[in-house]
Amino acid sequence: MHIAENAPENQFALSEELILVKQSVSNKVELLSKMADLLYRHGHVKDSYKEALLSREEVFPTGLNTQVSGVAIPHADSAHVNHSAIAMATLHQPVDFQAMDNPNNTVPVEIVIMLAIKEPKSQLVMLQNIMRILQQNDILVSIKAADSAAEVMEILSQHLSA
């Protein structure tokens, strides 16, 4: 799998236009809406994606604690996706997400990796790549410290392509 701007269905598009850096938002709904709108504006998802994403997040929370930062990996069903893509955001201040492993707990999230998955069988490979990143503190520290989408893109391009 390679990161590509015009990706075949088994690849994920990732570009600087899909990366938001040091965002200031008041809550997860505002953040997820902003990211879903970004994917929609670039043609990766259908207009139904945002509602599906927000609904799914309520039922299947995506907040994860790492040693460095809270991370969320939200996504919606492939029926709402035109082309596979990854949108990413880093936050100026964390926002609370429900924990994936225990929805009664919250996770202060500072990094969000939103997946738009057209071909469901490619989800597992991408999630494995993302989990490898989440287990490497130095990468997470670099992503959090990045001041531009170009910096984040450089970090991700080194670690997400397989």
Q: What is the pLDDT of residues 63-74, one digit of tens each?
A: 999 999 999 999
Among the listed residues 96, 61, 90, 95, the one whose alpha carbon sits nearest the alpha carbon of residue 75: 61
Q: What is the pLDDT of residues 54-105, one digit of tens each?
A: 999 999 999 999 999 999 999 999 999 999 999 999 999 999 999 999 999 9
Q: Given a cut of 80, is residue 7 above it in pLDDT?
A: no
Q: What is the pLDDT of residues 133-142, one digit of tens each?
A: 889 999 999 9
Pick the CATH number of 9-151 from 3.40.50.300, 1.10.1740.10, 3.40.930.10, 3.30.70.20: 3.40.930.10
Among the listed residues 73, 79, 58, the one whose alpha carbon sits nearest the alpha carbon of residue 124: 73
Q: Given a cut of 60, is residue 1 above it in pLDDT?
A: no
Q: Given a cut of 70, is residue 157 above it in pLDDT?
A: yes
Q: What is the pLDDT of residues 106-133, one digit of tens each?
A: 999 999 999 999 987 777 788 888 888 8
Beta strands in the chain (DSSP E): 19-23, 63-65, 70-72, 85-98, 106-116
